[in-house]
Amino acid sequence: MLSSFKKATSIALVLSLLISMFPQMIFASAGSSAKEFLSFSVEGNPSVIDNVNHTIEVVVPYRSAVNNMFEIFEVSEGATVLNHTSNVTRTNYSSPVILTVVAEDNSRQDYTVTVTIGPSNLKSITAFNLVAPVAKSFIDDEAFAIYLTVPKGTDVTALTPTFSTDDSGAQLLVNGDVQTSGVSIQDFSQPLIYTVKALDGSTRDYRVTVNIHIEPSTAKEITYFALASHSSIGIIDESNQTITLTVPHGTNRAALVPTFITTGTRVLLYGNQQVSGEAVVNFTNPVDYTVEDEAGNSLIYQVTVKEAASTASTTKVLQTFSIDGVEGLIDEDAKTISVVLPTGSTRQNKTATFTTNGQSVYIGNTSQTSGATANDFTTPQTYTVFAENGLTQNYVVSVTLANELKSYDLISPIQAVGKIDPLNHTITFDIPYGTDLSVTKAVYVTTGDHIKINEVVQQSGVTETDLRLSPIIYTVDSDNVSVPYRVILNIGLNPAKELTTFKITNPERIGVVDQAGRTISITVPHGTNVTQLAPIFTSTGSHVKVGNENQVSGVTTQNFTNPVTYTVFAADGTRQDYVVTVTVAPRESSNNGTYLPVPTKPTTNPSPFYPVVNQEKLKAYLKDKIEQASTDPVSGIFSDVNQHWSKTNIDLFVKMGFVKGYEDDTFRPNGSITRAEFAAMIVRVFNIEAQKNATSFTDVKEAHWAIKYIEALAVSGIITGYVDGTFKPNDVISRAEIIAIISRIVDFNAIGKNKTADFNDIAGSWNADEIRAAAAAGIINGRKVGSFAPQEQSTRAEALSIILRVLNLNADVRLLLDQPKT
């Protein structure tokens, strides 16, 4: 029994030992077949792994040692790479290498690993020189700076450098322009930045500075010597290197502070460098000043300060001054003298005649003798008058040639006297409204040689000139010195104040306007209620009133039981009254004396548009646009409109081809819109065609992209431009200007009033009545409660939304436009 137990125990121990040593052999299931590269890099450079085609691509930096590259990789769990260990193995990848992944089940997969060397990142300038003149540079590779020195007199504005880089494939650029060695010319008057662009796209900037070699100056003159505490100025005798000053009697010559100007590098006294206006010097005896130049040479000036006698005069006034008999104007307070010579005179080598109560007169160190000493007066000259006691007084003498515009008057197309302001050099004209100043003629008088306008020499009473843009008029003397006179045009306000048309609706009757008698007569059928009529009228004035109430065409009602006086106000403030009489026709009767019933007219829906827009053609045009949009849709996905309040409107207009977005896939709904862009939008939407005799504006040239749209609206009467004949197509359009254009397309009187306009910021607006009518028709809303903001810029979204509301005024058009939205 004991023997059997021992035998069983021995067998159990053997089995336990076998299980602990070889568990996989006893309990193992089938091994995994996964054998993919999960990641792979060499020398820290990541790879692109293609587990379908079993390839691995790695790009390493330029000049990498691909023949000995350190690998880091990760493969499927349980798999290994034959003969390769991550973070240990180095491999020669100068050519593609096959790596074999072995799965747990001993299945294998080969991967082809290709390591490619990336483009060069070399971007150093190795040489930068000049050939003419010959100059070799110094290249600072730490500061990335290049220095060259050229001889004095070299024209550094046009130098052609030669250069090389450490990679022949690299480019050198200056301000984005590619440079060619020995060919590209540059201006080196200021340091230039040369940018080296490597083949891998990286860049490095070098600052290139060209210096001019300077020869040491040998100048060492004292050109001015005076005293800080006195007006005494030294007389410099350059030939003997002496300077002589005289100071008033009693001056302490032992403690004077000299001021001086020198062309040298420094001034020495007793071996000590002197600073002008600082050192106190004893001039009791003559003093020697030494001036040194840049080359190290020196020159000695002996300075002598004399004390004037006690009886010496102190006067130093230049009393009279004239040249060629022309008296100078002496301003004693400013110490200036002005001489105006006739035009045609020369200012060189002129001899002045003068009187003075001083002892002597100098210009610089040259003594002046009245009527004898000649000078060049092309630039102002400073005359120094010396008193007997040594003190001085300077006078600045300026000699000019007569060059004044005495008169400039228009003789064509109107006669107008120019008001000349000789101090501010302006010429002001009062011009009646409507005067065409594109071709004018003027007569003028000038003391100069001639006058020029726009570089054209003028001939009095003959030359035709365009004054619309207020050009500068230049008077020119015989030395070709010009004086500008600015033209100021005060254009009168428009005096027009006619009531040109007048009619009523329901029933429609057109008034007979008698411009001579200033009356308007209308006869309406019997039974018409004349107590609440809203007439439609046009005028040439700025606004129309009945009593103190502004009248809005087609909106403001009046009681015509008795004649009503309409007052038209012109822009210039004048007014004209028109008496409007509405007569009710008597009731018609039959032959037997009974009254005939008044026939009832069938009701019609009037068009909301003026005749400039053909309603039927518009519907056909929009229908065709909608069909095109369904068969050939236009892409209109913009990144900046998804949450915008006008997204639906924008999508609709884009689908129909009326507007487009920008190249960056944005629409910019809150961006501004120019007058030309809005004109183009109106023409495209309402299908308005240009006529033959297209109206042109002076600032809309044939090359302008929107000329056909602008001319279409001009011919149709929808736009008129500015009084100066311009349209300003590139100006941003305001909200008020948009309503002005819409009001020439939409007949507000044919539309029922949807609401009452109550804006508190349009009272002073030039088209306040049109804004109120548009608001009443439901075409516009305010920016905020009670505010329309007429002068603010309209946004792109606001502009197209207003146009869409106008289109929706027609029920048939509204139904058509609902189709693309579904």
pLDDT digits (tens, 9 = 90+) for 711-757: 888 888 888 888 788 899 999 999 989 998 998 888 877 776 656 66
Q: Please state which of the ranges 14-28, 708-722, 790-804 shows the lowest mean pLDDT.
A: 14-28
- C-alpha dist (Å) from residue 156 to 140, 149, 187, 304, 765: 21, 10, 6, 47, 60
- Who contacts 559 (Cβ-Cβ below 8 Å, separation ≥6)? 530, 531, 532, 533
Helix axes 796-807, 675-686, angle to 10 degrees: 30
Q: Which amino acid is at 4?
A: S
Strand order in the sheet with 564-569: 512-514, 519-524, 575-584, 564-569, 543-546, 549-550
State the Cα–Cα distance between residues 563 and 579, nearest whole angstrom.
Answer: 6
- What average pLDDT does this structure show over 90-96? 94
Average pLDDT over residues 257-276: 95
User: What are 180-234's pLDDT values in tens digits?
Assistant: 999 999 999 999 999 999 999 999 999 999 998 888 889 999 999 999 988 899 9
Whether residue 681 contacts residue 802, with contact meaning beta carbons closer than 8 Å, is answered with no
- How many angstroms separate the first and last alpha carbons of the chain? 98
Mean pLDDT is lowest, of 489-493, 597-601, 628-632, 662-666, for 597-601
Structure tokens belonging to residue 413: 């197309």
Of 556, 612, 558, 549, which Cα lies nearest the Cα of 580?
558
Distance CA 587, CA 527 (A): 8
Q: What pLDDT, on the 0 to 100 scale, is given for residue 636? A: 62
Name the more confident of 420 and 797: 420
Question: What are the C-alpha distances in Å from 290 to residues 302, 364, 620, 638?
Answer: 9, 21, 101, 81
* Rounded percentage of the chain residues whose pLDDT exceeds 90: 64
User: What per-residue confidence (pLDDT) applies to 644?
Assistant: 87
**Of all residues in the chain, what percent carry a pLDDT higher than 70?**
91
> What is the distance between the alpha carbons of residues 632 and 611, in angstroms, rounded to a whole number?
32
Quick one: pLDDT band at residue 162, thresholds 50, 70, 90?
A: very high
List b or e across 9-39, with b for residues whose CB sees 16 or more CB atoms inside 10 angstroms. eeeeeeeeeeeeeeeeeeeeeeeeebbebee
pLDDT number for residue 27: 45
Question: What is the average pLDDT across 518-522?
Answer: 94
CA distance 567 to 546: 6
Residue 526 one-letter amino acid: H
Average pLDDT of the chain to the nearest whole number: 89
Taking only the tens place, the pLDDT of each residue in 627-643 is 887 776 665 678 888 88
Backbone phi and psi for residue 618, each to the nearest 5 degrees, phi listed first: -65, -45
Which DSSP string corresponds to 570-597?
A: PTTS-EEEEEEEEEEPPPPB-TTSPBPP
Q: Which comes out higher in pLDDT, residue 506 or 445? A: 445
Question: What are 744's two structure tokens?
Answer: 């020439």
> Which residue type sits at 13?
L
Residue 102 above 90 pLDDT? Answer: yes
Residue scoring higher pLDDT (596 or 293): 293
Q: What pLDDT does residue 770 have?
A: 86
Q: Which amino acid is at 351?
A: T
Question: pLDDT at position 613, please?
Answer: 86
* pLDDT band for position 4 (cuts 50, 70, 90): low
CA pair distance 582, 566, nearest whole angstrom = 13
Least trusted range by pLDDT, from 302-306, 529-533, 626-630, 657-661: 626-630
**Strands 242-247 and 298-307, bridge-based pairing:** parallel
CA dihedral over 647, 649, 655, 661, signed as positive or negative: negative
Return the pLDDT at 756: 62
pLDDT average, residue stretch 322-333? 97
How far is 329 from 272, CA to CA, in rounded Å? 47
pLDDT at 631: 75
The answer, yes or no, to whether residue 588 has pLDDT greater than 80, is no
Cβ proximity of 672 and 794 under 8 Å: yes
Q: Does the pLDDT value for residue 509 go beyond 50? A: yes
Instruction: Provide the pLDDT confidence category of residue 822 given band limits of 50, 70 and 90.
Output: low
More confident residue, 285 or 746: 285
Spell out the residues 6+ positions from residue 435 whose beta carbon is closer than 8 angstroms to its own. 413, 414, 491
pTM for the whole structure: 0.44
Q: Which two tokens stand for residue 50?
A: 């293609």
Q: Using CA atoms of 220, 222, 228, 233 in order, give the dihedral in degrees to the nearest 10.
A: 180
Residues ≥6 apart with Cβ < 8 Å to 428: 418, 419, 421, 488, 490
* Better-predicted residue by pLDDT, 506 or 158: 158
Cβ–Cβ contacts within 10 Å for residue 183, how many?
9
Residue 410, burial from CB neighbour count under 10 angstroms (0-12, 13-18, 19+): buried
